[in-house]
């Protein structure tokens, strides 16, 4: 792979920042691995699916290296940064006590958003308001009905739903989807959701998008101190705008229609609405805060004292806006955090250990849906794959992508040694433990490029103070079949 401006080093000379942080050995948080398929039918699918549920940590130590521990009084996890001394932890406790109104560990404690963003409620405008999204009620098995009853009773108790009007024109159905147990990895749990695709087909599209994940974790990785914050029932903190908007969320429960009083997951534009609100509220804290929908990180690259101030500023800002956080799902004063599926330390960006384990255990796909799901999960981490002189992600994945061609209808029959090898190579590459380093724009950039008949790739690198090269980013893409003849002519 030729370099622009420098001599290409040998593969042995090229290395990435090692992910050997004392705090990276074991996370106090368990994430549900997986990739939500059927992306084309669901506007509100994030690029990964995680279940951010804090495990019981005990009164003091959490891991063997004491990287984090739980303060039982505040129900808050402290990240165990080596420069965060006892006096800093005590001051962080004082910050949390002063900002206790920002936290709501139960949905009963939610107050609803009361900030001054231009669109402070959620509306569902239709292209043609005369249209109705109506489905007849479905039948469910006794087991499914039991799950639906449990969830709907909770939603009703918390005030997130209410009986719909007698002459409601809209009606959707509930879907009970399978979900992996985060401890066993088995599909023994369930996810309750309302199928709002009928409503979404009539809705005006909202073009506001979440921030690019790579831009956010590049910022966070440059910081020494990090605090992650998690909103409690985030979408349900945004009220519906009007009675008509509520009626568009109506769904069947026991042959009666109920509607949401707050913003539901699955509605087109729900993520965009929350992104706009968070951007507005945190607009004056962009120097120390990033937010991807409801996942917030306060970061500081100077001193523990400054980080304490930054965290308090963020907590007060969100608290004043009525956005409530879950202390038990937040981590304060950490050196390394899990964010957007990555394990982010100081100048290191790597895949989470739980994600690597999930990738290693991926079975051979049985159909195109399963193959797309696997490639979707791997594609999210493709920036970790590639080095000068070595294959890039697109080259490795080509035998798998070839099976997505229209003329191939039987994945099991078409699967061969090339696909087995490609799947294993991708697993090994993604789970190699490699960590990228964030780009330092005060240093020269080194760009390596390569191309072949089937794909193009590039690796962006820099040199540290010792002159050792490290990888900042790797990109690649396949070349469509209709363009390959032009590439062959260039090669000839």
Tens of pLDDT, residues 368-394: 999 998 998 888 888 888 777 667 888
Tell me what pLDDT residue 337 has. 94
Residue 24 has pLDDT above 50, yes or no: no
Residue 16 has pLDDT above 50, yes or no: no
Nearest to 447 by CA among 460, 462, 463: 460
Per the CB < 8 A criterion, the answer to whether 112 and 323 are in contact is no
Handedness of CA 295, 301, 307, 312 (dihedral sign): negative
Share of the chain above pLDDT 90, in %: 57
Average pLDDT of the chain?
83
Tell me what pLDDT residue 486 has. 65
Tell me what pLDDT residue 49 has. 33
Per the CB < 8 A criterion, the answer to whether 171 and 228 are in contact is no
Q: Cα–Cα distance between 362 and 36 in angstroms, integer?
A: 14
Per the CB < 8 A criterion, the answer to whether 74 and 93 are in contact is yes
Tell me what pLDDT residue 180 has. 59
Q: Tell which wins on pLDDT, 490 or 119.
A: 119
The 10 Å CB-count burial string (b at 16+, else e) for 449-478 is ebbbeebbbbbbbbeeeeeebbbbbbbbeb
Tens of pLDDT, residues 202-254: 999 999 989 999 899 999 999 999 999 999 999 999 999 999 999 999 999 99
The CA-to-CA distance between both ends of the chain, in Å, stands at 18
Tell me what pLDDT residue 458 has. 87
Residue 488 has pLDDT above 70, yes or no: no
Residue 63 has pLDDT above 60, yes or no: no
* pLDDT tier, 29 (very low <50, low <70, confident <90, very high otherwise): very low
Tell me what pLDDT residue 473 has. 84
Q: Cα–Cα distance between 418 and 414 in angstroms, integer?
A: 10
* pLDDT tier, 152 (very low <50, low <70, confident <90, very high otherwise): very high
Q: Cα–Cα distance between 271 and 423 in angstroms, integer?
A: 33
Range 25-38 average pLDDT: 31
Q: Cα–Cα distance between 349 and 218 in angstroms, integer?
A: 8
Q: Tell which wins on pLDDT, 6 or 460.
A: 460
Q: Cα–Cα distance between 416 and 436 in angstroms, integer?
A: 33
Tens of pLDDT, residues 461-476: 999 898 988 889 888 8
Tell me what pLDDT residue 338 has. 92
Range 156-176 average pLDDT: 96
Q: Cα–Cα distance between 370 and 254 in angstroms, integer?
A: 33
Point out the least confidently predicted range of 187-191, 327-331, 360-364. Answer: 187-191
Q: Tell which wins on pLDDT, 40 or 309.
A: 309
Q: How far apart, in Å, are the Cα atoms of 418 and each of 295, 389, 398, 431, 455?
A: 39, 21, 10, 20, 17
Tell me what pLDDT residue 301 has. 95
Tens of pLDDT, residues 393-441: 888 999 999 999 988 999 999 999 999 999 999 999 888 888 889 999 9
Tens of pLDDT, residues 76-132: 888 889 999 999 999 999 999 999 999 998 899 999 999 999 899 999 999 999 999
Tell me what pLDDT residue 426 has. 93
Tell me what pLDDT residue 178 has. 74
Q: How far apart, in Å, are the Cα atoms of 92 and each of 86, 100, 146, 225?
A: 10, 12, 43, 13
């Amino acid at each position: 792979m030729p370099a622009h401006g420098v001599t290409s080093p040998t593969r042995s000379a090229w290395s990435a920042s090692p992910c050997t942080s004392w705090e990276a050995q074991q996370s106090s948080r368990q994430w549900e691995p997986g990739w939500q398929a059927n992306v084309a039918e669901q506007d509100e699918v994030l690029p990964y699916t995680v279940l951010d549920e804090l495990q019981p940590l005990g009164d003091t130590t959490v891991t063997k290296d004491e990287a984090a521990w739980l303060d039982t009084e505040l129900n808050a996890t402290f990240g165990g940064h080596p420069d965060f001394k006892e006096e800093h932890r005590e001051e962080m406790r004082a910050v949390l006590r002063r900002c206790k109104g920002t936290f709501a560990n139960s949905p009963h404690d939610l107050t609803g958003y009361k900030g001054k963003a231009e669109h402070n409620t959620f509306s569902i405008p239709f292209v043609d308001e005369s249209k109705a999204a109506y489905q007849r009620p479905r039948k469910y098995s006794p087991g499914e009905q039991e799950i639906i009853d449990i969830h709907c009773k909770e939603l009703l108790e918390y005030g997130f739903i209410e009986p719909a009007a007698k002459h409601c024109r809209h009606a959707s159905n509930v879907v009970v989807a399978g979900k992996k147990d985060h401890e066993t990895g088995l599909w023994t749990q369930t996810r309750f959701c309302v199928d709002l695709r009928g409503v979404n087909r009539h809705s005006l599209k909202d073009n506001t998008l979440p921030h690019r994940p790579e831009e956010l974790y590049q910022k966070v990785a440059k910081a020494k101190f990090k605090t992650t914050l998690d909103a409690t029932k985030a979408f349900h903190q945004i009220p519906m705008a009007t009675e008509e908007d509520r009626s568009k969320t109506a769904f069947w429960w026991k042959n009666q229609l109920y509607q949401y009083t707050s913003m539901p997951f699955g509605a087109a534009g729900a993520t965009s609405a929350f992104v706009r609100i968070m951007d507005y509220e945190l607009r004056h804290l962009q120097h120390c805060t990033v937010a991807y929908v409801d996942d917030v990180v306060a970061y500081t690259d100077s001193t523990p004292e400054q980080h304490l101030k930054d965290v308090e500023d963020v907590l007060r800002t969100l608290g004043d806006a009525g956005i409530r956080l879950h202390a038990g799902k937040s981590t304060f004063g950490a050196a390394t955090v899990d964010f957007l599926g990555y394990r982010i330390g100081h100048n290191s960006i790597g895949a989470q250990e739980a994600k690597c384990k999930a990738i290693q255990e991926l079975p051979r796909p049985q159909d195109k849906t399963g193959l797309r799901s696997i490639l979707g999960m791997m594609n999210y981490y493709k920036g970790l794959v590639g080095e000068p002189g070595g294959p890039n992600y697109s080259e490795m994945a080509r035998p798998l992508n070839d099976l997505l061609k229209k003329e191939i209808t039987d994945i099991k029959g078409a699967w061969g040694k090339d696909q087995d090898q490609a799947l294993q190579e991708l697993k090994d590459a993604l789970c190699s433990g490699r960590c990228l380093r964030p780009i330092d724009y005060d240093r020269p950039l080194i760009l390596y490029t390569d191309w072949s008949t089937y794909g193009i790739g590039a690796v962006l690198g820099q040199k540290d103070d010792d002159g050792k090269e490290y990888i900042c980013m790797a990109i690649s893409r396949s070349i469509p079949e209709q363009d390959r003849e032009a590439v062959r002519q260039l090669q000839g």
